Amino acid sequence: MERWSIFIDIEGFSALWEHDVQVLRSLADLMEGIYQIGCQCYPNSPDRIFAHQLGDGFIIVSDFGSESLEVPIAISVALMRHVGAGGRFASAAVTTGGFADIASFYPPSIRNAIVEGGRVPMGSGILTVFPVMGTALIRAYGLNRKAPRGSLLAIKRSDQPRIPACFLVQPHHESDTVLVDWIHSESALVSRLQAGAGLRAPEARQLERAVLGYCNNHHPPTAWRENTIKFLSVTQDT
């Protein structure tokens, strides 16, 4: 069975980068949340996770596959709430695929020069390499880009039977996805992850207010605002 994977990144990062220091804090929140979940909740095989930063996002991959997608959805929900508590937002996609070390395909000049941490000296400069690749990354990243704009958690519609009933979903037919309401879904596993990893666990009304505040203060594209409010069932008079 293929391993599950999550691609999660910070929404509006490039637009906010130059004038909003909070977006950097949100990236730090996301990074810390992943680290704490890995250390405190899933430290050992067969449950351990592997995470790699890609710009303002991360790919998170399981050690083994599972029939249910409860764990990656719960991790995504916990992380999106943790980031959302700071007033900035993430989007995520959950899918499955393979993931492997591809360093053996590097040219000999690179393999012989590579040092710890994927760094390759180039005189007094440096080249950094990303020695893992596979469909787990390609599919998750692609699904995140295919999904409608917004702070949304997307899953392929064909994977809907693998989603536990505790997660509220709505279909988006144009992208052939279902979108998880990460604000209002109630999951015992999400609660355990939040407590075990020490993540912020804002109430739904707090997150709704944060979404509306973000829309009013930062003026994201109309489609972003409309999709986020619609698929997260945000009450606009909250």
Please write the tens of the pLDDT for every residue from 176-220: 999 999 999 999 999 999 999 999 999 999 999 999 999 999 899
Q: Which residue has the higher pLDDT, 16 or 5?
A: 5
Alpha helices (H) in 107-156, listed in sequence order: 108-113, 135-146
∠ Cα 167 73 236 (to 5°): 55
Mean pLDDT across 55-75: 97
| 14 pLDDT more than 90 | no
Mean pLDDT across 166-174: 98
- Answer yes or no: are the C-beta atoms of 67 and 161 closer than 8 Å: no
Please tell me the distance from the alpha carbon of residue 159 to that of residue 136, in angstroms, as a whole number: 15
Dump strand ranges (E) for 41-89.
Answer: 49-54, 57-62
Full-model pTM: 0.94
Mean pLDDT across 73-86: 98
Percent of the chain with pLDDT over 70: 98
| 238 pLDDT more than 70 | no
- Answer yes or no: are the C-beta atoms of 56 and 44 closer than 8 Å: no
Closest CA to 147 of 1, 3, 8, 5: 8
- Answer yes or no: are the C-beta atoms of 214 and 54 closer than 8 Å: no
Who contacts 158 (Cβ-Cβ below 8 Å, separation ≥6)? 176
Q: What is the pLDDT of residue 16?
A: 74
* pLDDT, tens digit, 9 for 90 and up, residues 109-155: 999 999 877 899 999 999 999 888 899 999 999 999 999 999 999 99
Domains and CATH numbers, the chain: 3-99+134-231 (3.30.70.270), 102-130 (no CATH)
| 67 pLDDT more than 90 | yes
* pLDDT, tens digit, 9 for 90 and up, residues 217-233: 989 999 999 999 999 99
Name residue 116's amino acid.
E
| 17 pLDDT more than 70 | no
